[in-house]
Structures are given as structure tokens and as C-alpha cells.
Chains A and B, each alone.
Chain A
Amino acid sequence: MTTATGTEGRTAPTLELRSVAKSFGAVAALRSGTLEVAPGSIHALVGENGAGKSTLVKIVAGVHRRDSGVFRLLGEDVDFGSTADSKSAGVAVIYQEPTLFPDLSVAENIFMGRHPLGRGRRIDRTRMYDESNALFARLGVTIDPRRVANGLSIADQQLIEIAKAISLDAKLLVMDEPTAALSGNEVARLFAVARSLRDEGRALVFISHRFDEVFDLCDTVTVMRDGAYVSTHLVAETTEAEIVSRMVGREVAELFPKTPAAIGDVVLDIQGLGSTGEFHDISFQVRAGEIVGLAGLVGAGRSEIARAVFGVDGYDEGRVTLHGKAVPKKQPRAAIRAGMAFVPEDRRQQGLVIEGSVARNIASVIRGGLAKGGLLTAAAENKASAPWASRLQVKTSALDMRAATMSGGNQQKVVIAKWLATDPKLLIIDEPTRGIDVGTKAEVHRLLSDLAGQGLAILMISSELPEVLGMADRVLVVCEGRLTADIAREDATPENVMAAATRSAPTAPPTKEPVS
């Protein structure tokens, strides 16, 4: 590698991916990934959640093996079977939250597995510390190589990962949302380091949801959507609006048939809800018959808000009222009694007792009421759960089958059945169709629409923009723990929702005051 700049002549790109595909079972996570990164450049990779960015990065990192397509590094075909392979070929991946050994020193973390050895094969600590200091000096930062990694800020941990990458002479650095957890100064320091690495002739891939950062730092930007390459632009020759329209480009399909329902009284009223470090000053209402979509990027704080409202987590300020009655905080039982139901994001860990039977899962919230004289029988649980399994068309051979043996879509139906059995007034549903097949997806959407038609208030969190736009009567957008927009169904477009979700200034005023 002698070429320090990628501006003149055609040198072999550091990384070249063409039509790379990867499927997990029947799910195609990446259909056609294409990315070409020149040496001495910083290349942004952008796309919605689920666009396939992470899968692409994992293929480059050697975590996954591609099913098909071309994968070249420095002009040579490569095929990584492990992360060790990719490291030795000169690839370094820096994740949003680095995984250092917390109890080892900074220097030991940098030289893990390849400590400099002195006489008698003893670890030469002096040399290790000197080399660490030299690396940090090159990056222009000061971190004591002798201190333990535990307690370092995420920004410092990332720098240690970068130092490690340089000591391995990495030609390609991939940074997966490195700025998500950093403060303004830390971002500036990271960018200075990134620029100096670029000027040394290394290639960098920068994944971020913040467009101002992309436009500030990067030379080139590649847009992905639905597991496929969309376009590549020179940053100097494009605009934020163009990138957003490329990201959301698809038509909102007719898959999502929310039928208009009579909107009734306020069911859920949230005022000034805040939890330190998670979300701030959240106020909104959900009315009977209304589906309110909570949109935003992964990590914006949507799930945290839902969890606080339902009481599985606490909150620091604000209040939650349901049908005019205050709901006590941090008591799921009380929230259930008040009429709330919560289908959480993580079906396997939170939504279901995955090793439990269909019947016990469906009856798990209502079973207290099934007991006669305090005694609960399996027969009573079966009798109560069968009609719900039938109503949701759960496919299982018997009620005692473990939920773990069922498909994701059927598991989701069991979770929904369990909550509908409680006859709720408000249904909070987090990622209603994540990881379920298209047919079941449509069934779930039809069901939500029917339920709203019967007067149920629904708060739906979804990272799929078409789902939000198709289902929601009103879209609330959360960005970095704050509500940044409240958009009526007829005004909502992929562009204005995406713009509100990626607004990086945390103090930006909402486009419209929340109804109150």
C-alpha cells in the first residue's frame, strides 16, 4: 500500500463487495450488497433499520459467511471463516459498544493474544506500555495504558479498539454507529482520529443515522434499502433530502389495511414522562379506536417509554393515567388491572415463557381469575386458552406443545392471545411483526385494525416505516429520547418521519405541539 490518496488514477479499492447475499433460513437479510471503498477515504453506509447494513458488516468482519457474490479485499478474493481471518487480513470493526476485557489493563487489551515477549517468554510489560503510549500519541489522545479498562468511557474504549486496529496495521476500519453513545466533544475527537487515519491511506466505513455527521466527515455515501444496494453518491454532490428519499424509496404497500375507526375518548394519557438517560418530557395521548405509531430509530428510546408506561421499568418524572385513573409506577400487575396489555419487543425472552406450553402461556395473565376457591387446574387453563388459540388461528398440534417448537409468527399469535384474553383497554405492541413471515404479518395487521375498530386503543412501536405509515392514525416520532414530531395519518410521509427520526439536535422543538 503505497498510494496515500484515492483521488488520482484507479488503484484497487480496499474493499469491494458485489451482489453479496446472505440468508438465515427463509429470511434474506442481505439480497444484494454492493460497496466499494477506496483507500484514503471515509465511506458512509446509510439505510433504515433492517436495510442489511449490519449483515454486510458482519460478512466483512468474518462473523457470517456470504451465500453468494464477490468479496475482494485489496483487489484479492477473500472468504473469511472467522473473525480471526478477517483481522489477519487487515480488517478491523469497531462496534457501538466495544467489548473490552473489563478487568485487564488498557495495554493488555490492545495486545491481547500477542503480548510482546521478553526473556524466558515472559510478558515484556515495559515494551507493551511503551508501544501503547506510542499508539495513543499517534492518535493524539492520552489514555494511561496501565489502568484497567473497566470504568473507561465508551469513547475511550472505542479509541482503544482503534489503537488495537492500528497496531495490527488494519487497512480497513469499519465503525458501526460509533457516535451513538458519544458526547459532542468526544465525537469531534473521534472524527479527528478518523481523518488522520484516512490521511494515512486507510479506508474507513462509517455507519451512522446522523446525516450531519455523514456530511461532515465522509467523502462518499452508499445507501441501502431492504437488503440491497440502492446508490452511491459523492457527499459533495448530494443533499440530505436526496439521501432520505433513496433510503425510504419504496412505495407504501397496500399490505397494511388499517380501516378507519371511530376515535373515542382518551384512554391513555401520558404527561411529562422522563427517565434519566433514557427519555425526557414525553407527553401524548392515545384514544379509543386509535392506533398511535411510535416511530424512530433503534435505540431512540421507544421501547424504554413503553416499558415505563407498562411498569416493567420505573421512571423518574411525569405520570401515566388510564381512563382518568393514575397508574402506579413500576407495577406491571397494577397496569394489567387498569386495563393495559403489553406485547414486548423480545418475544423469546419477555413475551413468552418459551419452554412453557401454549395453554399455560395463553392463560398466564388471566389464570388468577380461572382459579376456583384458590385452586387452578390444567383443565381450566386449557378450556380458557383454546378459544383464544382458535381466534388467532394458532397452528399447533396440541395445547401442551412448548412455544419453543413453534414458528415466530405463531409465537407472536400466542403472545397476542395471552393479552387479548385479559380484555384490555389499551394494547401496547412493540415491533408487532418482527421476524414473522409475510402471511402472518398481514394477519397481525388485520387483527390490529379490527381491534381498533372495536374501540381498543393501540400504541404500536415499529421500526418498519411502511408498517407505521400504513397502520397508524397518528405517528409520533422519537429521536434520542424526545418526541420530535406528531404527524397525522394524512400528513405522514416516509420523508418527514425519517427526517424527524434522524434530527440530531436534541433540543429541536417538535414540529407540532402534542395534543393535550
Chain B
Amino acid sequence: MSTATATEARTYPAYSRNLAARLLLNREAAVIVGLVAVYLYAMGNVPFFDGPLTIFNLSKEYAPILLMALPMTLIIITGEIDLSVASTLGASAAITGVLVVEHDLSLPLAALVAILVGALLGALNGFFVAYVGLPSLAVTIGSLALYRGLAEGLIQDKRISGFPEGWQDWPTERIGTSQYPNILIPIAVLVVLFALLLHFTSFGRGVFEIGLSDEAAHFSGVNVARTKLVLFTLSGAVAAFAGVYVALKSNSVATDTGNGFELKVIAGVLLGGVSIFGGRGALHGVVAGVLLIAVLNSALQLDGQGSEVIQIIIGLLLVGSVIASNFLPRIRALIPRRAAASTTAPQTPATGDETRKVSQ
């Protein structure tokens, strides 16, 4: 096997920094620290924040956002975006409502139909992005309107309510005697599944590679188009699942169900450290990002702030986090790395100037 005639075997350390630096000097850690800080501050200073209903309401409210943020994370890491998730959620809620309330279908069956339709709507986005080669921003702005129109066509200007008792209450019942609603169980399962998919599979490595350079990924045998199709399909399916949940939680479906959720989802993903240019991000950061928005929102509300103040603060946080992420590499560069083991003469530098900023 070895061709080396007289070359000594080299060994390489796996990492150029120590464990602490790797764990702490990244966006995800910053968001988690921010989340813990805001939570602890609110517990001590905001009236009623430590009450039993806070976490419960917050979980109920932000469950659909967190759900949709999971596939959105993967999509944004590939450098694409899906703006149609909230409309898919609305369409799915409408389908569930019409099938259950007006056609007396059992809820699990109706939910299954809604999720399949959601997957199909997502696959349609994916087809145009991956196989036709259109920009996802344009495709999903179109389907944002299209899928919302689908929901409106299904339920017109009615408000559907009257879901069967047992199912209606399930998602918002508490797990045992805890203060957490049942919906957190499927969320926890999906968080783990998406984290494994993104960080511990060959497919997930491909997702990052596509975001960093889809051409290089293609040349290494990654099926770029299929990967994108799968991600958009997953996004549609998860948004549809969130739609079923929203319908049951509020026991009502209208044409504006979930309106504007897509921006909250994307805000959470970006706050969680995912680069809008693709190629970097981590799922635990996104979970923390969505929770940070949720906790901040809830704390400010309980503190008696108006919605305009809340909007401004969350907006500033998002802009600030994007700016801060530009400084993080410079801070990191101040921390010395392991010295290069090379003793040979300097080699031809890599072409391209942007690559030389990082100190050896």
C-alpha cells in the first residue's frame, strides 16, 4: 500500500486549539450564554416570570417556530432559504380542519394527509430549486403566496373550529406533573433526529459542503440536487406537522393561521449562528436562538412592554448578532493556535488574499 520510499510517518493532532477554546469561542456558545443570562435575569427581576405558566405558555407559543427552524437550519446551511413554511403550515391547518370538522375524518388520518400534502408542497419548491435551478428566494416567495392561496381556497372566509375533544387537548396537556406541554415530546424527538442528520451523517456533511462550495461537493460525488430536494421536502412535512399542532392548539383555523411565522423562524435560525451565506451553523445554536427570542419576548411582555418595544429589541439583537459574528473570527485569531509542525522553507502561498488573514 505504501508508496513512501524514505518518508517518515507524520502524526497530526486532530485539533489546533484546546477543548475549552473550541467549546467557548463560537457563535453557538455566545447564544447559549445569552439565553442563560436573559433567563436568569428575568427569573430574578421580571414579575411573574418565575410563575408556573410562563414556561408552559412560552413552549406552546414557540413550538411551531422551533419545529420549522429545524429543517430551515439545514436549508440555510446549503445556502438556500424556504420562505413558504408559514404558508405550508396554514395550508396544512386548513386541510386538517376541513377533513376533521367538515368531513368527520379521524384526526390521525387527517394529520397524515396534511403532512403528505405538506411534503409534496415542499418537494415542489425543491424541484424548482434543485432541478430547474431557480433561486430559492424567488421560488419560495412565489409559493408563499401560492400555498396561502391554497388555504384560503379551502376554507374561504370561514373560521373552522370544533376539533374532537380528546385530540384538541392533547398537545397542550402537561407531561405528567411537569410544567411542559406534550408537544415538547415530538419536538425533542425531531431535534435529536435533525441534529443527528446534520452533524452525524454523511448526508449532513454534504449539506455543509454544498453551502461552502456546491461545485466542489458535486465533484466529490455529493448529489447536490437530491440533497436539496430532500431538505425542502422535509421542510414542507415538518411545517405541515406544525400546522396540525397549531390547528389543535387554538381549536381554530382561519386563512391567516401562521401568518408571518417564516420571519420568526429565519430570525431564530440566524440568531442561532447559522450563516445566511451557507456553510456554517449548528443545530444546538438554532434551538438556543429560537429559545432566546421566546424568553426575551415573554420576559418583556410580562414586564409590561408594548409590542413595538419588543419588536425593536429583538430586531436590534438580530442585527447586533450579525455584526458581532464578523468580529468573532478576529477575537479567535488572537488566541494562539498550535504551532505548525513544518520546518521547511515557505511554500508558494495559496492564491487568493482572503485566506491569509488567519494566523498560523
Contact = CB atoms under 8 A, between A and B. Distances in A.
Interface of A: 25-27, 312, 332-333, 335-336, 342, 344, 348-356, 358-360, 364-365, 367-368, 370-371, 374-379, 382, 386, 389-391, 393-402, 404-411, 418, 435-437, 439-440, 447, 450-451, 454
A397 B200 contact: no
B220 A418 contact: yes
A371 B346 CA distance: 37
B350 A386 contact: no
Given A370-B202, A390-B9, A406-B350, 19 more contacts: A332-B219, A335-B221, A350-B215, A356-B209, A356-B212, A359-B14, A371-B201, A376-B204, A389-B10, A391-B4, A393-B7, A398-B13, A398-B338, A402-B355, A404-B352, A404-B354, A407-B348, A407-B349, A440-B347
A391 B11 contact: no
Contacts of B346: 26
Contacts of B201: 371, 374-376
B313 interface: no
A353 B280 CA distance: 13
Contact of A408 (B4, B348, B356): B348
Given A354-B216, A364-B209, A447 B3 contact: yes
Give the interface size class of chain B: 35 or more
A26 B360 contact: no
Given A351-B219, A365-B220, A397 B339 contact: yes
Given A396-B340, A447-B3, A355 B279 contact: yes
Contacts of B354: 404
Contacts of A451: 3
B330 interface: no
B349 A397 contact: no
A451 B349 CA distance: 27
A70 B190 CA distance: 69
A376 B215 contact: no
Residue among B12, B342, B360 with max Cβ neighbours from chain A (10 Å): B12
Contacts of B209: 353, 356, 364
A365 B216 CA distance: 11
Contacts of A342: 219
A405 B10 contact: no
Contacts, number: 161
A342 B10 CA distance: 26
A359 B4 CA distance: 20
6 contacts: A336-B221, A348-B351, A352-B213, A355-B279, A395-B342, A399-B12
Given A405-B358, A451-B3, A400 B14 contact: yes
Given A371-B202, A376-B202, A353 B221 contact: no
A407 B347 contact: yes
Given A348-B351, A437-B347, A389 B202 contact: no
Interface of B: 2-5, 7, 9-16, 196, 200-202, 204-205, 208-209, 212-213, 215-221, 223, 279, 337-342, 344, 346-352, 354-356, 358, 360
A399 B15 contact: yes
Contacts of B4: 391, 393
Contacts of A447: 3
A477 B153 CA distance: 64
Contacts of A312: 218-219
B357 to A, nearest CB: 9
B200 A377 contact: yes
B16 A409 contact: no
Most A-side CB within 10 Å, residue of B202, B350, B354: B350
Contacts of A359: 14
A180 B350 CA distance: 30
A312 B219 CA distance: 6
B237 to A, nearest CB: 20
Contact of B340 (A349, A364, A395): A395
Contacts of A379: 14
B350 A397 contact: no
B212 A404 contact: no
A352 B351 CA distance: 14
Given A354-B213, A397-B340, A400-B16, A435 B202 contact: no
